[in-house]
Structure 1
Amino acid sequence: MNKKIEVKAHGKVILIGEHSVVYGYDALALPIQALNITTTVEETDGPTWMDTTHYHGAFFDAPDEYDGIKYIVKTLLERVENAPNLKITYTGEIPMERGFGSSAVVALGTTKAVSQFLGLTLSEAEIMEITNHAEMINHGKASGLDAATVNSDYLVFFNKQDGPKQLSQKLGATLLIMDTGELGNTKVAVQSVKKQMDESDLKKKQIARLGELATATRQNWFNQNAEEIGKIFNEAEDILASFKLSTERIDNICKIANENGALGAKLSGGGLGGIVIALCPNQEVAKKIAEKAKANFDNDWIEEI
């Protein structure tokens, strides 16, 4: 019998709180079911093997960018006597360096699929511990927000002090996500924000305001007040743009969205490229905005929230 285990994990977007979350303020992130990667594990007669869109070869000879999942597989194989050689295949695509949580998706999928294949009964806490350690290897520093959100079917409310909390409440609105095709650079963006804060009390106050807006978003979410959250998105975008984190494409998309029925629009993630989210009252408005703004982005997704 050819045993095969498949695990699908989905991506995420940060709704609000990017950058301010670094300084201990609140953030909200949303799982995106439309973006996912499936990890498939089966036994192989050859060496333990990896198949991805970008790499086909011996698993432990993969480039450094795969060090996080190499850690996962090595850790799990060491828990089994006479462990088999595995073929691990990744299918599906989540754009890299856009703020969709692609590395956390692969880390979580690998941990779950390999542990199931080996018959390891890991607790949820053990799965998340291994996933987050892989994320630390990938990024040097990880808050745990990405891993928590790609493992959740619900909105995640997060701050450094309390960690992640799931919010099952629906807002009753539609989210349009547009990928500008421009690679973001979170590390550069975070360094730039810190430098500006070090040099200006106004910038410190603006980051504190972003944190306040994230807290307000949570309360308005419970009240299903999408209109107010839309206004919050626009204010947050103004603040993020003042830190020079926006681009011409992001500015254009936000302008078109707000002129065509969006409740609000903003960049999502580190900025300097990446994705834009537009909060819409319904799918019809989201589709209209996507059509009007399509010259400014590579791809789009619509999520009911």
Structure 2
Amino acid sequence: MAYGEGFGKVILFGEHFVVSGNHAIVCGINSKTTAIVEAIEGENYELVDKRPETPGYKQEKFEQQKESLQYIFKAMQINPKETPIRITLTGDLLAASGVGASAASCAAIARALNEHFKKGLNNDQINEVAFQGELGYHGKPSGIDNTAATFGGLLWYQRGNPPTFEKMKSAGPVEIVMGNTGVVGDTKKLVLGVQERKEKEPAKYNPLFEEAEQIALKAKEAFANGNIEELGTLMNRNHELLQEIGVSHPKLEELIAIARENGAIGAKMTGGGGGGYMIALTPGAALQEKVAKAMQEKGFTTVQTTVG
């Protein structure tokens, strides 16, 4: 029996813009997905998905998950018809939009397969396999989710061939609240939609992408200096840009309003959008608790964690 883990993630700055080569800031979170691989009698593979989920998420992603596994098997040169296996997914990361659930599962599966089949892959190679797995979910993944899922920590990321990333300097961890809309977003559709609109309307979209890059650069500096107020301001503006490119959702807007009304320094959607999660910058345990409670009172589920 072989095990593997993948971190959940939160994109703090630059989602969607990162697909076109912008920088983004991403942070692994404490919640993880675990994969267990074991040999079985049979003719192929079995997948047992025991992850907690936003209702409907696993059903919605079922076909994409099957496609993803084929990419992973191909990348690792594994033929489960010759060596049948059972893959079991567990862990405390909610299978939901916006937390890197698909990437966490890809990294976890890659690590467990690596151990089971004794492939000897290092972390960079695991990251590449996880990226291949993400093709099944995203169509045009930026690579940011699988990188965070593989390495964790606070990362400064840019897409490329190969992608580049570095561990970021931070003045220290800061509390955030992640609010779950309960809506499953279609990341593949949202990403491709933005890219299509950008090609059709460059005069509108190019300045938004340029501003998003400046926001990411300023946020990197603010993290290093511990300038929380500046981070909040940048977060709010980043969300406005995401609204303008058409990837928000009424439930995201509701959660962001609740966060700001209850004292959050900044708030924005995170990840693919169209539902999924938002994040609120809530320095200090008392503010974090207050904002989370306000969201819960409106019927939303939350995750309280730190970044940086």
Q: Same fold (TM over 0.5)?
A: yes
In the alignment, structure 1 residue 72 sits paired with structure 2 residue 72: yes
User: Sequence identity of aligned pairs in percent?
Assistant: 26
CA-to-aligned-CA distance 1:202-241 (integer Å, 9 cap, x gap)? 4431221112101111111111111110111111122222
Contact 1:170 1:221 in 2 (8 A): yes
Residues in 2 aligned to 1:210 and 1:74: alpha-carbon distance in whole angstroms? 36
**Mapped partners of 2:155, 2:280: distance in 1:** 19
- The residue that corresponds to 2:182 in the other structure is 181
2:34 is the alignment partner of 1:32: no
| Residues 256 and 78 of structure 1: CA distance in aligned 2, closer, same or farther (over 3 Å) | closer
Cα distance in 2, alignment partners of residues 288 and 89 from structure 1: 37
Contact persistence 2:137–2:188 (CA under 8 A): no
Task: State how 1:78-157 maps to structure 2 within 5 Å.
Answer: 78=78, 84-92=83-91, 94-96=93-95, 98-157=97-156
SS class of match (2:179): strand
Structure 2-normalised TM-score? 0.84
Alignment pair present for 1:45 and 2:47:
no
Matches within 5 A, 1:1-305: 4-34=1-31, 36-53=32-49, 65-73=65-73, 76=76, 78=78, 84-92=83-91, 94-96=93-95, 98-161=97-160, 163-167=164-168, 169=170, 171-194=172-195, 197=198, 198-199=200-201, 201-296=203-298, 298-305=300-307
CA contact (8 A) 2:19 2:141 kept: no
Residues 158-211 of structure 1: CA distance to partner in whole angstroms, max 9, x if unpaired? 112452222263543101111101222334433544455433634431221112
SS in 1 for 2:151: coil
Aligned to 2:289, what secondary structure does the other structure show?
helix
- Residue 28 (structure 1) shift: 0.7
Q: Whole-Å Cα distance in 1 between the matches of residues 270 and 298 of structure 2?
A: 16
Unaligned runs of 5+ in 1: 56-61
Structure 1 residues 64 and 150, CA gap change in structure 2 (3 angstroms): closer
Query: CA separation of 1:120/1:234 partners in 2, compared to 1, >3 Å: closer, same or farther?
Result: same
Q: Distance in 1 between matches of 2:129 and 2:193?
A: 31
Counterpart amino acid of 1:70? Q
Q: Tell me which moved more, 14-23 or 193-202.
A: 193-202
Whether contact under 8 Å (1:152, 1:166) holds in the other structure is no
Larger radius of gyration: 1
Cα shift at 1:284: 1.6
Letter in 1 for 2:301: N
| Contact persistence 2:177–2:303 (CA under 8 A) | yes
Relative to 1, partners in 2 of residues 1:273 and 1:73: Cα closer, same or farther, differing over 3 Å? same
Spell out, residue by residue over 1:224-277, the C-alpha distance to the aligned partner (whole angstroms, 9 max, x if none). 111110111111122222334333322222222122221100111222222110
After superposition, what is the alpha-carbon deviation per residue over 1:131-179, rounded to whole angstroms, capped at 9, x for unaligned?
2222224433222211111012311111124522222635431011111
Q: Structure 1 residue 93: deviation in Å?
A: 5.9
Matched residues, number = 294
- Cα distance between partner residues in 2 of 1:108 and 1:254: 30
Q: Deviation per CA, 1:37-68, whole angstroms, max 9, x where unpaired?
A: 2111222233444242389xxxxxx9563122
2:67 maps to amino acid: D
Q: TM-score, normalised by structure 1?
A: 0.84
The residue matched to 1:151 in structure 2 has which SS?
A: helix
Structure 2 unaligned residues grouped into runs of 5+: 52-61
1:52 counterpart SS class: strand
Distance 1:186 1:138 in 2: 8
The residue identity in structure 1 corresponding to 2:12 is L
**Matches of 1:249 and 1:23, distance apart in 2:** 27
